[in-house]
């Protein structure tokens, strides 16, 4: 019987007896600790799953908000472009109107200048004609001719007055 003298046999027997006597006492707390840890891991997994669903919902909502903001920005950009085009068109119309008004003002000034030049030329021509007539009359008429012309004009005055009354 060599088995009874073997220290490994006695160690194995002690190990088995230890677990037979104390196994239930050791196993219950160990199993409870493992069950607690399992429940804790399960709760953490459920919490992680819940947090993941919330994160996905938040991400989906953020994507929708991003799309809505993008559409709003595109609408604002289009409205801004339309407003800029209207402003540019109005500015062009106003510039054209201002240019037309300025052109008309220049035409009026030019016409006034032309009329003033014509009036100046007429006055100068009249002055020259009066001076020329005066010189011609002065050189042609003498005092005797002058007196006879005045006497004839006085004599013809009643006829001229009568002719004016009939015409009017």
Token couple for 123 = 């006055």
Read off the pLDDT of each residue in 146-150 and give the average, rounded to a whole number. Answer: 76
Alpha helix stretches (DSSP H) within the chain: 7-140, 143-167
| Residues with Cβ within 8 Å of residue 26, at least 6 apart in sequence | 19
pLDDT digits (tens, 9 = 90+) for 1-60: 577 888 899 899 998 888 888 877 888 888 889 999 999 999 999 999 999 999 999 999
Q: Which pLDDT score is estimated for 163?
A: 75
Domain ranges in the chain are 3-167
Q: Which pLDDT score is estimated for 103?
A: 94
Backbone angles phi and psi of 2, in degrees to 5: -75, -20
Give Cα 81 distance to the centre of its chain.
Answer: 7
Residue 93: band (very low, low, confident or very high) from pLDDT cuts 50, 70, 90? very high
pLDDT digits (tens, 9 = 90+) for 59-91: 999 999 999 999 999 999 999 999 999 999 999
Residue 135: band (very low, low, confident or very high) from pLDDT cuts 50, 70, 90? confident
Q: Which pLDDT score is estimated for 3?
A: 78
Query: Is the pLDDT score of 128 beyond 60?
Result: yes
Q: Which pLDDT score is estimated for 167?
A: 61
């Amino acid at each position: 019987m060599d088995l009874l003298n073997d220290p490994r046999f006695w160690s194995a027997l002690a190990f088995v007896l230890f677990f037979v006597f104390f196994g239930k006492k050791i196993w219950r707390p160990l199993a409870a600790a493992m069950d607690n840890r399992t429940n804790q891991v399960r709760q953490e997994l459920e919490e992680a799953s819940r947090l993941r669903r919330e994160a996905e919902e938040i991400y989906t909502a953020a994507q929708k908000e991003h799309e809505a903001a993008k559409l709003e920005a595109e609408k604002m950009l289009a409205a801004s472009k339309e407003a800029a085009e209207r402003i540019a068109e109005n500015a062009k119309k106003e510039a054209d109107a201002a240019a037309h008004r300025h052109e008309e003002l220049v035409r009026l000034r030019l016409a006034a200048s032309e009329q003033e030049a014509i009036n100046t030329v007429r006055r100068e021509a009249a002055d020259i004609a009066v001076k020329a007539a005066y010189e011609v009359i002065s050189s042609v008429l003498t005092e005797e001719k002058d007196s006879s012309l005045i006497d004839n004009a006085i004599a013809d005055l009643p006829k001229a007055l009568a002719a004016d009354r009939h015409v009017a």
